[in-house]
A and B are shown apart, each in its own frame.
Chain A
Amino acid sequence: MSPVEIGSISVLAIVFLIYIGVYIPVALGVVSFVSVWLMRDSFELSMNLLKVAVGDSVTEYAFATIPLFTFMGLLVSKAGLGKDIYEVMNAAFRNVRGGIGIATVGANALFAAVTGSSIASASVFTRVSVPEMLRYDYNPRFAVGVVAGSSVLGMIIPPSAMLIIYSFVAEQSVGDMFLAGIGPGILLAVAYMVAITFMGRFTPGFVGGRDGNALGDHPELSWLDVANKTMPLAGIVVVVLGGIYTGWLTPVEAGAGGSAVALLVAIARRKMTLQGFWQALLETGHITAAILFLITAASLYSRMLGLAGLPNELNEILVANQLGFAAIMVVYVILMLFLGTLLDTASVILIVVPLFLPIVEPMGVSLVWFGIVTVIGAEIGLLTPPLGISCFVIKATLDDPAITLKDVFLGALPFAFIMLLVLIVIIRYPWISIGILAR
């Protein structure tokens, strides 16, 4: 067999193994190891590549962003900032049909600016927002759909674990990736809000709920309350994004600073016990170890692809068929949507980016923009069956047997569709993402 054949088979083998439940880093590592061995007929070479991957891949300074932003996100969740911002948003949109839905999206967008995880968003807002919507007679499918749809904002609006992972694979600056995520994140949030308003007007059956003024029993917030509930969050956003934007802080320092501020807020609000603090640290370490081990295995995989010459081969096929850039992007997005139904976001990114990067790089497009497209494309899979992870988390957090997993998926479907439309807009107009970098 030629190296290209072995390479292609190994990509399929990895997808298959992950699907039947092999740990993702193990699937990447073992398959890459065996295919290099077969390709070069050298066990020695495989061992050497393994040594390089394990020894060198976690020594990157920028990797510290992963534990630091994870820690910050956990502290922020513990401090109850998600619930606070939700209450403020709810007061703002109380007179609109579907208002709680819009409030959930808005609160998610702001919460996303201090946490890097769709899972954190999904579980926090399933607890605070779904019961509220059900209380006001919203359609359960709509209620869970809004939470699922808006949870993806967590991974697009910086700081975001997925943007960090992409920046490692593509060797882009973490700070640039963060800044480029702001525009698309806001666009997606606004698109959701507009869509909910339209749904409220044209498909009131799907939204449910009562007419706006029925929410009159909802307490109005004084300006003092609003300030009290928004200032801590605003402070963290200013430190993190402001620090990165002005160049005063590196992303690593912004993560550490953000963690410190989040910790002070949590302590000031008496939301932090010593045990809770230890738990957050423990959780941070686990998440860091899991992600970085995954990245280690993925670096072995991308070296294997390089040895197999698979990206070159793929390029030649695309050139031979006279596929232009637009067609390549279509293929790319479809591939991500397909993989996204089976794999989690990080794995999709780690598998497809090394394949396509050598193809798009010579075309002179911005790799930062390409990263935003990648992250959003891979994130759509969070909402689609059979393995839409946001939907699983919502179902698991919900504790309400009346709402089935199928309801969650059906509710999320319109939002997945809106995401796809927004993705197309972002592909068409790159300035939405990278405009901010041209300062």
Chain B
Amino acid sequence: MAGWTALVDRLYFALSIFSRGVNALGTLVVLGLVAIVNFDVVARGVFNAPFKGTFELVQFSIILIVYLQLPDVIRAGRLTRSDGFLLIVGQSRPQLTRMVRRVIDLVSAILMLLIAITMWPEVVESWETNDFFGTPGIFTAPWWPVRLVVFLSAVLCCLLWLLKALGSDPESDAPKMSDDTSETSHA
């Protein structure tokens, strides 16, 4: 049994590092978003030459930011939750709340699995039909890379939650109260 848990923990560790890396990519997209919109405003306002495709690129970057960073949000235990109950009950019945945390992580993994399953046909379809978005003649980009990111992100989130649920300590990444209050996640 102990060997099994150690394996789970090691896998979790490896995936954590991976999700941090993916997260860094998403962070660059945030920077790109700020840059593109400002570029467009200046180009339009000062040189009267709006940057075509800004609208599409903004939409594109939002999806990328969300799904490149969601795994790391989950890893860091920063997904919105109100854990007042868990913290209070945890003081007198730590065993019970550990169990509850495991079940919650497992249910969350199932949701991500369903999302992955439902997104896969979309990836295949947009690859085969060369589906694109944007306005032809102004700016177009293929859909499949975006759909693929969403699919892979859902798989990664699913695995992270699954390993959290099965690992030795489901709270290992739950940060302290100060940065886990659900509101931290709202701007």
Q: Which residues of B contact A116 (CB under 8 A)?
A: 186-187
In the assembly, what is the distance between CA of A330 and CA of B118, in Å? 41
In the assembly, what is the distance between CA of A55 and CA of B65, in Å? 14
In the assembly, what is the distance between CA of A389 and CA of B70, in Å? 23
A61 engages B58 (CB within 8 Å): yes
The contact size tier of chain A is 35 or more
The answer to the question of A217 belonging to the interface, with a C-beta cut-off of 8 Å to chain B, is: no
A393 engages B183 (CB within 8 Å): yes
The answer to the question of A119 belonging to the interface, with a C-beta cut-off of 8 Å to chain B, is: yes
A18 engages B82 (CB within 8 Å): yes
The answer to the question of A342 belonging to the interface, with a C-beta cut-off of 8 Å to chain B, is: yes
**B34 contacts which of A256, A343, A345, A347 (Cβ < 8 Å)?**
A256
Given contacts A55-B122, A73-B187, A293-B79, contact A396 B38 (CB under 8 A): no
A66 engages B27 (CB within 8 Å): no
The answer to the question of B33 belonging to the interface, with a C-beta cut-off of 8 Å to chain A, is: yes
Distance to closest chain A CB from B61 (angstroms): 7
**A290 contacts which of B30, B67, B80 (Cβ < 8 Å)?**
B80
Nearest opposing residue in chain B for A285, CB measure: B69
A58 engages B63 (CB within 8 Å): yes
Tell me what chain A mostly uses at the interface: helix, strand, loop, or mixed.
helix
B186 engages A291 (CB within 8 Å): yes
Q: Which residues of A contact B82 (CB under 8 A)?
A: 18-19, 21, 24, 342-344, 347, 387
Interface residues of A in 258-272 (CB under 8 A from B): 259-260
B79 engages A256 (CB within 8 Å): no
B80 engages A59 (CB within 8 Å): no
B34 engages A389 (CB within 8 Å): no
The answer to the question of A69 belonging to the interface, with a C-beta cut-off of 8 Å to chain B, is: yes
In the assembly, what is the distance between CA of A386 and CA of B86, in Å? 13
B111 engages A29 (CB within 8 Å): yes
B85 engages A20 (CB within 8 Å): yes
B117 engages A290 (CB within 8 Å): no
A286 engages B69 (CB within 8 Å): yes
Q: Which residues of B contact A293 (CB under 8 A)?
A: 66, 70, 73, 79
In the assembly, what is the distance between CA of A68 and CA of B70, in Å? 17
The answer to the question of B31 belonging to the interface, with a C-beta cut-off of 8 Å to chain A, is: yes
Interface size on B, residues (CB 8 A): 64
Most buried by A among B38, B68, B83: B38
**A54 contacts which of B29, B59, B101, B118 (Cβ < 8 Å)?**
B118
Q: Which residues of A contact B78 (CB under 8 A)?
A: 286, 290
A50 engages B107 (CB within 8 Å): no
The answer to the question of B7 belonging to the interface, with a C-beta cut-off of 8 Å to chain A, is: no
B38 engages A21 (CB within 8 Å): no
Q: Which residues of B contact A115 (CB under 8 A)?
A: 187
The 8 residue pairs across chains A and B that have the minimum distance between CB atoms? A256-B37, A161-B187, A290-B185, A396-B178, A289-B69, A70-B187, A21-B86, A344-B182
* Known pairs A21-B81, A387-B82 / 10 extra A-B pairs, C-beta < 8 Å: A22-B81, A24-B79, A50-B114, A54-B119, A161-B186, A257-B41, A284-B30, A285-B65, A290-B79, A294-B80
Chain B residues packing against A (C-beta within 8 Å): 23-24, 26-27, 29-31, 33-34, 37-38, 40-41, 45, 55, 58-59, 61-63, 65-70, 72-73, 76, 78-86, 100-101, 104, 107-108, 110-111, 114-115, 117-119, 122, 147, 150, 154, 176-178, 181-187
Q: List 23 A-B contacts (CB under 8 A).
A: A21-B85, A25-B79, A26-B107, A51-B122, A55-B122, A58-B62, A58-B66, A61-B55, A64-B61, A253-B41, A256-B37, A282-B24, A285-B30, A286-B69, A288-B69, A294-B80, A344-B80, A344-B182, A345-B183, A345-B186, A387-B84, A393-B181, A396-B176
